Amino acid sequence: MAAATLTGGTPAARRFVLQAITGRWFMVFASLLILSMSGATYMFGAYSDAIKTSLGYDQTTLNLLGFFKDLGGNIGVMSGVINEFAPPWFVLAIGVAMNFSGYFMIWLAVTRRTPKPPVWQMCLFICIGANSQTFANTGALVTCVKNFPESRGIVIGLLKGFTGLSGAIITQLYHAFYGNNSKDLIFLIGWLPAAVNCFFLRTVRLMKLSRQENEQKIFYHLLYISLGLAGFLMILIILQNSLAFSGPAYTGGASVVTLFLFAPIAVVIREEFKFWKAQKLKPKNDQSQLKIISENPPSSAETSQPCPKPPPNMAAQPDKKEPLPWWRDVFNPPERGEDYNILQALFSIDMIILFITVTFGVGGTLTAIDNLGQMGKALGYPSKSVTTFVSLVSIWNYLGRVASGFSSEIFLAKYKFPRPLMLTFVLLLSCVGHLLIAFGVPNSLYFSSVIIGFCFGAQWPLIFAIISELFGLKYYSTLHTLGGGASPLGAYILNVRITGHFYDKEALRQIAAKGVGRKQDEDLSCTGVECYKLSFLIITAATLVGCLVSFILVLRTRKFYKGDIYKKFREQANEAMQ
């Protein structure tokens, strides 16, 4: 009877649909789609050559654009501060406006629909477009972490995994929509993420803190779907690299990718139907299950119980504690795991150590990713391989994110394995990818793309989870942006000042050796292993410094990670259930 009622379009069916689209799991599904479109900053290697040749830039200028792209993509303080007092939909809406306006102006310049803009304007456009990614991350990821605090490592790994996978996803949609014109890729990056964010603006929101017995099991089901998507993309990339794909073949591949993207809705419907069915079977006076996953706080009538009066001796005593002045409170932080305010976290030694680690560690992998297109060209790889490198980085970026997010949560729960130690190991592994680039081993760019993509992805869930654990969740919207904000500094030093400088120096030496002068507005190109050898040897040394600094954080936090860091969240959820 219930099944017939549900399928007949009756009020029961409408109640179920309303429950499903306003529930926690549909909010997670919406966040997955938003973040699967928010990784345009990782695709710079796929369209950077179009910018360079169309506008006649040298490598230093192109790397300067890459730096401002990284600056915009990682400095999310503005989105974090706005999210402290504004709802998530408002944060996402700002990101929509920035994404479209920034990339649309770049597309107009590259396609010569507007006069060639000065370099500073191009830097501004790409910074604005890339900064929209921080608004998507803050609006969706921070909201999910606050809604699922006991599964934060898994949540961050899964959501950031879709961000890492977005480069490969958008690449397949780009081939289906526009073929192989990299200028149109810039236009797609401008309008597609903005459209997806607009559709789910009001879906992503903070909900009442609650617990669900099979919470992690549901996240694992979402993980299996994402692994299927990543596997399909990997096979598709291999086939596209070895075979000549036609327009219908690209369309077919993109259609399967879209089906994978919407597959999590089946998990949402299944879980919500289980709850809906359980509600119908429970007696009307049994509200325990409703308390567990209800998104709305109880009404004042439900909570209007008289408060017990304090004992007379306690009531008579004044509070002797006086609040410290703000400038003293900055250097008097609470215990690790409690809620730091923004200044306390900013001036803490732990945050300074993380900042240095991100500067040297993430800065090196960002440099490698931004230069993939130019490295492939310098080392003589076919032009088709450039999009292959970008897609490989995207897929292994995803795998690194979900692997570090899920595995660090498991190791922490079972073995008290500290996340900072896992971060140290990831940085050490990335040195292998940098050395493969430095010595230009034949076909090594495929392997280095895999290693660097994995390590770049694995760093972010660890960094964001460490910040949430050490400094609390009260100001997490702002604090998580402080950790990511260090990577543009490393990218500027390693990418612009070192890699771009040595590339142009070698290119000018090659031109001088040929005895041919450089024409005006001609892009400055370099060929051979020497273009990047010295730069990546320096990057390897800088990453090793990041490893050593990260290990200092391991030593400082070893006692903290031996304790029960999620105890207070379990207690809060249990209180909400009573």
Indicate the burial class of 313 (C-beta count within 10 angstroms; 0-12, 13-18, 19 or more).
exposed
Tell me which long-range contacts 261-264 makes (C-beta under 8 A, separation of at least 24).
Answer: 261/32, 261/33, 261/36, 261/169, 261/229, 263/225, 263/228, 263/229, 264/28, 264/29, 264/32, 264/222, 264/225
283 has a pLDDT exceeding 80: no
Q: 322-336, 376-390, 392-406: lowest mean pLDDT where?
A: 322-336
- Domain 27-208+215-280+339-577: top CATH class: mainly alpha
pLDDT (mean) for 139-145: 89
Kindly report, residue by residue over 187-238, the tens digit of the pLDDT: 999 999 999 999 998 899 888 766 667 788 888 899 999 999 999 988 888 7
Phi, psi of 223, deg, nearest 5: -60, -40
Alpha-carbon distance of 554 to 466, in angstroms, equals 11
Domain boundaries, the chain: 27-208+215-280+339-577
Secondary structure letter of residue 493 according to DSSP: I
H/E stretch holding 197: helix 182-199
517 has a pLDDT exceeding 80: no
**Proportion of the chain above pLDDT 70, given as a percent:** 84
Alpha-carbon distance of 233 to 83, in angstroms, equals 34
531 has a pLDDT exceeding 50: yes
Kindly report, residue by residue over 60-73, the tens digit of the pLDDT: 888 889 889 888 88
Secondary structure letter of residue 243 according to DSSP: S
Kindly report, residue by residue over 347-382, the tens digit of the pLDDT: 899 999 999 998 888 888 888 888 887 888 888 887
